[in-house]
Chains A and B, each alone.
Chain A
Amino acid sequence: MKFETTFMKQFIGFLKKEFLHIFRDPRTMVIIFLLPIVQLLLFGKVINNDLQDSKIGIFDRSHDNTTREITSKLLSSGYFILGEELLPGDDVEDVFRKGKVKMLVTFGPEFEKSLERDGKAEVQLLADASDPNTARILTNYAAGIINDYVKKEKLQNIQLPNQINTEVRMLYNEGLKSVYMFVPGIMAMILMLISAMMTSISISREKELGTMEVLLASPLKPIQIILGKVTPYLLLSFINTITIILLGVFVFGVPIKGSFLLLMAESFLFILMALSLGILISTVAPNQMVAMFISVLALMLPTILLSGFIFPIKNMPWPLQVLSHAMPPRWFIVIIRNIMLKGTGILFVWKETLILMFMTFVFIALSIKNFKIRLE
């Protein structure tokens, strides 16, 4: 009984000290409290692959009901806004050169008539391909909207022989919003940063300053030191997980279709994995600089590049695809996407969960081994 109380008192004293370190260091505070929000907003709002309000030009040589309706469909889709209405005799290239529009939609003469008479009519889509990705997306979207309109409104009564209609639906992310991808990715990144990097820096700082020796020569047990180091970052990581999820849900409208409890449990597992990785790094790194270097090089870059967060794993050359299996965030992102977007349960993510558990176990085992070697 007495043993337990001193153990707890020592532990709580250690936690107080750790929180003082955290709150007194402006850099740590920025990384912990500002970085997650800034990154999510950055990725969600600024670095955005989605099209919104792209300026287009309309050159309507027919001016009938159909062309007017198509134009209003385009402009009310949310993807396009009218940048310029062209009149006969206007210089098309001039409009592009001045950067007024990204795409020009030109309706041929007698559009409605020829559509009704011959079943076909002409629309030309001119896009500014100096930015090829945007040009491709713009023309695809516009073509989609026009075809959809024509099929639904005009061709209902006309029977075309042997026509195959493809109907495309984007499951789990109907609006193709890239923020759906970024939320799980940023969660993985931030948790890695706070759990693994901050823990490893905080432990190696004690080594660098010589205070670790004093702690080890004191009645504190190594387990108290490790737990005392890890617990504050566990709490802060958890707070950040919730912040990111709340921002994702309420600012970006990312759904949580699956179990919130499972989502939290999986995040907790990932945090544990990252913390044990942080401890492992600190057993190798003699000082803060090295700890930081290893964390950035071995954790942050692979998390961003190899986890499938930004670049699809399927498009990577095979050596990198193989390497990506060793990246914990890869599995976590799969889990989070499954739970949040698809609403699947543990039955569909047990494999990934087991992989994360296994990684946690390996990191802890290696840390203990390294720690013992150092003490000998």
Chain B
Amino acid sequence: MGLINDKMKEKVIEVRNLVKKFGSFVANDHLNFDVYKGEIFGFLGANGAGKTTAMRILCGLSSPTSGEAKVAGFDIYRETEKVKRNIGYMSQKFSLYEDLTIAENIRFFSGIYGISPKDRKAKQDILLRDLGVESSKDSLIGSLPLGWKQKLAFSVAIFHEPKIVFLDEPTGGVDPITRRKFWDLIYEASDRGITVFVTTHYMDEAEYCNRVSIMAEGRIEALDTPENLKKQYSAKNMDEVFLKIARNTE
């Protein structure tokens, strides 16, 4: 996927000069980037680089100090409600209720997004079949293996078919095989036209993204496809790219 093609695509996230300060600490220093429809956009950076802050702003969980941003075509200052209706969000902690069953979780979250019971039932059947968990429909989430929980959390986050889904370090604490399977789900969502905005600090995951941005000290230091970044920094893999950028900013 080349840059020329990207530019012709529909922009679903536009960020211009976005600044977020906490007192005198600058968490996001004039961020500028676009994310295109159906893209898997990796948002990388060391802990404290400001990626979670930026993502929280785009999700409407926090308001910026200055700058402009549009998410799903809506202004994040004035149209927060519309932004929220068009995004999905999955936090680091799986974000399903452990003391509720799979079906109850789905019912609750579809209720929030105003999905009718009829639509819910139809979609729920497909979801359970695809994940192969039909027989566990009435099991409590707490009793399921970690890998299942994670896949379910992702499926619930895109249950209302948002334009963009934000994933905040979704694969933390999961083994590589489960991680790989989780990424299959991400690809499927992307094929359906859902834009995936994902933060991670696993560099093997960075390779799976269509484009990655690398943040350090509140600024975006690099933004391109993994191939171009590797060429630019003459590195074998994303790990090296990341380390070189980290050293440069020190």
Taking Cβ atoms with an 8 Å cutoff, the residues of A that contact B are: 6, 9-10, 13-14, 16-17, 20-21, 24-25, 209-211, 213-220, 375-376
Chain A residue nearest in CB terms to B62: A375
Min CB–CB distance B141 → chain A (angstroms)? 11
Taking Cβ atoms with an 8 Å cutoff, the residues of B that contact A are: 59-63, 81, 84-85, 87, 89-100, 104, 107-109, 111-114, 157, 166
Question: Across the interface, which residues of A come within 8 angstroms of B104, CB to CB?
Answer: 17, 20
Question: Across the interface, which residues of B come within 8 angstroms of A211, CB to CB?
Answer: 91, 93, 95-97
Known interface pairs A20-B99, A209-B93, A209-B98. Does A219 touch B113 (Cβ–Cβ under 8 Å)? yes
The answer to whether B113 touches A214, judged by C-beta atoms less than 8 angstroms apart, is no
CA distance A5 to B166 in the complex (A): 28
The answer to whether B112 touches A219, judged by C-beta atoms less than 8 angstroms apart, is yes
The answer to whether A376 touches B63, judged by C-beta atoms less than 8 angstroms apart, is yes
Min CB–CB distance A374 → chain B (angstroms)? 9
Question: Across the interface, which residues of B come within 8 angstroms of A17, CB to CB?
Answer: 97, 100, 104, 108
Chain A residue nearest in CB terms to B81: A219
Query: Which one, B61, B99, B109, B113, contacts A213 given CB within 8 A?
Result: B61
Chain A residue nearest in CB terms to B108: A17
Question: Across the interface, which residues of A come within 8 angstroms of B93, CB to CB?
Answer: 209-211
The answer to whether B84 touches A213, judged by C-beta atoms less than 8 angstroms apart, is no
The answer to whether B98 touches A218, judged by C-beta atoms less than 8 angstroms apart, is no
The answer to whether B114 touches A217, judged by C-beta atoms less than 8 angstroms apart, is no
12 contacting pairs across A/B (C-beta < 8 A): A6-B114, A16-B108, A20-B100, A21-B99, A25-B99, A211-B97, A214-B95, A216-B61, A217-B84, A218-B112, A219-B84, A219-B112
The answer to whether B63 touches A13, judged by C-beta atoms less than 8 angstroms apart, is no
Chain A residue nearest in CB terms to B93: A210
Chain A residue nearest in CB terms to B142: A24
The answer to whether A210 touches B84, judged by C-beta atoms less than 8 angstroms apart, is no
Query: Which one, B81, B87, B89, B107, contacts A13 given CB within 8 A?
Result: B107
Question: Across the interface, which residues of B come within 8 angstroms of A214, CB to CB?
Answer: 89-91, 95, 157
Min CB–CB distance A30 → chain B (angstroms)? 16
The answer to whether A218 touches B111, judged by C-beta atoms less than 8 angstroms apart, is no
Chain A residue nearest in CB terms to B95: A214
Min CB–CB distance B48 → chain A (angstroms)? 18
The answer to whether B111 touches A13, judged by C-beta atoms less than 8 angstroms apart, is yes
Question: Across the interface, which residues of B come within 8 angstroms of A13, CB to CB?
Answer: 107-108, 111-112
CA distance A213 to B87 in the complex (A): 13
Nearest 6 A/B pairs, CB to CB: A210-B93, A13-B111, A217-B89, A210-B91, A214-B95, A217-B59
Question: Across the interface, which residues of B come within 8 angstroms of A216, CB to CB?
Answer: 60-61
CA distance A375 to B87 in the complex (A): 18
Chain A residue nearest in CB terms to B22: A376
Chain A residue nearest in CB terms to B64: A376
Question: Across the interface, which residues of A come within 8 angstroms of B113, CB to CB?
Answer: 218-219
Question: Across the interface, which residues of A come within 8 angstroms of B62, CB to CB?
Answer: 375-376
Min CB–CB distance B91 → chain A (angstroms)? 4
Chain A residue nearest in CB terms to B92: A210
Min CB–CB distance A111 → chain B (angstroms)? 73
Known interface pairs A210-B93, A217-B87, A219-B81. Does A9 touch B99 (Cβ–Cβ under 8 Å)? no
Question: Across the interface, which residues of A come within 8 angstroms of B100, CB to CB?
Answer: 17, 20-21, 24
Known interface pairs A10-B114, A217-B59, A375-B61. Does A24 touch B99 (Cβ–Cβ under 8 Å)? yes
Question: Across the interface, which residues of A come within 8 angstroms of B166, CB to CB?
Answer: 217
CA distance A218 to B113 in the complex (A): 8
Question: Across the interface, which residues of A come within 8 angstroms of B97, CB to CB?
Answer: 17, 21, 209, 211
Known interface pairs A17-B100, A219-B81. Does A9 touch B95 (Cβ–Cβ under 8 Å)? no
The answer to whether B95 touches A213, judged by C-beta atoms less than 8 angstroms apart, is yes
Min CB–CB distance B57 → chain A (angstroms)? 11
Chain A residue nearest in CB terms to B91: A210
CA distance A214 to B60 in the complex (A): 11
Question: Across the interface, which residues of A come within 8 angstroms of B98, CB to CB?
Answer: 209
Chain B residue nearest in CB terms to A13: B111
The answer to whether B92 touches A218, judged by C-beta atoms less than 8 angstroms apart, is no
Chain A residue nearest in CB terms to B97: A211
Question: Across the interface, which residues of B come within 8 angstroms of A219, CB to CB?
Answer: 81, 84-85, 112-114
Min CB–CB distance B106 → chain A (angstroms)? 11
Question: Across the interface, which residues of B come within 8 angstroms of A375, CB to CB?
Answer: 61-63
Question: Across the interface, which residues of B come within 8 angstroms of A215, CB to CB?
Answer: 112
Question: Across the interface, which residues of B come within 8 angstroms of A217, CB to CB?
Answer: 59-61, 84, 87, 89, 166
CA distance A211 to B108 in the complex (A): 12
Chain B residue nearest in CB terms to A6: B114
CA distance A201 to B104 in the complex (A): 22
CA distance A16 to B94 in the complex (A): 21
Min CB–CB distance B44 → chain A (angstroms)? 20
Chain A residue nearest in CB terms to B94: A210
CA distance A17 to B94 in the complex (A): 17
Min CB–CB distance B115 → chain A (angstroms)? 10
Question: Across the interface, which residues of A come within 8 angstroms of B89, CB to CB?
Answer: 213-214, 217-218
CA distance A217 to B98 in the complex (A): 19
